[in-house]
Structures are given as C-alpha cells and as structure tokens.
Chains A and B, each alone.
Chain A
Amino acid sequence: KNQVEQSPQSLIILEGKNCTLQCNYTVSPFSNLRWYKQDTGRGPVSLTIMTFSENTKSNGRYTATLDADTKQSSLHITASQLSDSASYICVVREYGNKLVFGAGTILRVKS
C-alpha cells in the first residue's frame, strides 16, 4: 500500500480560480515533506519543502500546509494560470535518504 495518498486523482479548473490538492501520508518517522510539479514529459521540480515543525510554506502562488499530527498536507494554488497544468506530487522523505512519492494529482487549467 502506498504510504502517500493524494486526492483528487485529477482536477479541472478555470483559469484564475483557486484550488487545493490534498496529501495524506503514513510514512513515520519522516524528515520532511515536499510538493513537486511535474510537467508532461519532464522530471519533477520542487515547489516547497516543509520540515516536521513547519505548518505552512509559500512559493509565489503556491502555498503548502502541513499538519504533522494528522499526517496531512495540502497545496493551495491561487489565481491559477494555464501554465499550472501539470501533475503535482506529494513526496515524503523518510529518515535516511529515501523519498516516498504519491501518485500525483493531475491538474488541468482551462481558459
């Protein structure tokens, strides 16, 4: 069973709208949690990283939250743009060096 679960599996929104992607994990203990953006045919690119003690982290229009007690994270995208269309992957780093990836949420932004 995947230790990182993401929802929804896919999402379609209109340009300019906001959206929130969810990530639940069971990896424990964990070192940090990242959100990656993966464009079609490209490798993932890191958006945000949060350690156990951090609750929120922003990167431009992207804001990630982390609740280490409930083992949940979210990625909020504000004022979406067409270029935001991609797969967004939640990644939890175990202690040591191994990353555990979620399956991703495929976001499509329509004009």
Chain B
Amino acid sequence: GAGVSQTPSNKVTEKGKYVELRCDPISGHTALYWYRQSLGQGPEFLIYFQGTGAADDSGLPNDRFFAVRPEGSVSTLKIQRTERGDSAVYLCASSLGTGGLDTQYFGPGTRLTVL
C-alpha cells in the first residue's frame, strides 16, 4: 500500500506568516510522529500522537507550534508567526503501534523555507 505522504513537498513563506504542513500516515497506523531536521543533523522529535491525542508534545520548541490529528489519521502541523529559524525539513512518521519494536515509517518530508 501507499507509504506516508506529506504535503506540500516544499513551502516558502515570509517571516511572520502562518503555515500548515500535512501528513497522511499509512492506513491503520495508530501512532504518528512529527520531527524537524536541520541541514546536516538528524531528525529532532517534536510531537507524537497515539490515536487522536497528543501523547508527548515535549519536543515542540514553543507555543507557535501546534499539531492536531482530529480523526486519528491525517495530522496537521501548524506554525504561527514563522521565523527564519523555523526553516528546516519537517518529517512525519507513522507506526502500527507504540511498542518498542514497532518500526516508524517516514514520509519524504516538507522543506520549509522562511524568508
């Protein structure tokens, strides 16, 4: 079946604007994760959902960042009043469950550029 998809693939915005990044997980996967990856670095955890609820949002850098998953499937990462430092690739991953051996499957990412 289809893997994790993310839209848009690229987003260029101006400082101060609001952006939404979308993630479509693999069908049937209950857990969904958001990561941020800066150039030359590994992904950095932001938030993860188990079903509709955010089980751990400790990685969100500040209150400008917010994520939802209202029906337990598609998730949207929302960034308000964007800053140049928000520029990065935002990766989404999903897994069947949250057991220790559950594999997270990653999407291709959304490259966000804040001018």
Chain A residues at the B interface, C-beta cutoff of 8 Å: 4, 31-32, 41-46, 49, 51, 89, 91, 93, 96-104
- Contact present for A101 and B103 (CB under 8 Å): no
- Contact present for B103 and A49 (CB under 8 Å): yes
Say if the beta carbon of B21 comes within 8 Å of chain A.
no
- Contact present for B108 and A31 (CB under 8 Å): no
- Contact present for B100 and A51 (CB under 8 Å): yes
What class of interface size applies to chain B in its complex with A?
20 to 34
Known interface pairs A43-B106, A43-B107. Does A97 touch B98 (Cβ–Cβ under 8 Å)?
yes
Say if the beta carbon of B112 comes within 8 Å of chain A.
no
Q: Secondary structure of the A side of the interface?
A: strand
- Contact present for B108 and A32 (CB under 8 Å): no
Best-buried of A43, A96, A101 by chain B (most CB within 10 Å): A43
**CA of A105 to CA of B5, assembled, Å:** 25
**CA of A51 to CA of B100, assembled, Å:** 9
- Contact present for A89 and B42 (CB under 8 Å): yes
**CA of A102 to CA of B98, assembled, Å:** 21
**CA of A98 to CA of B34, assembled, Å:** 11
**CA of A69 to CA of B55, assembled, Å:** 31
Closest to B100 in A: A31
Known interface pairs A43-B4, A43-B106. Does A104 touch B101 (Cβ–Cβ under 8 Å)?
no
- Contact present for A104 and B106 (CB under 8 Å): no
Given A102-B42, A103-B40, 10 new contacts (CB under 8 A): A31-B100, A45-B106, A49-B103, A89-B43, A96-B56, A97-B48, A97-B56, A101-B43, A104-B40, A104-B41
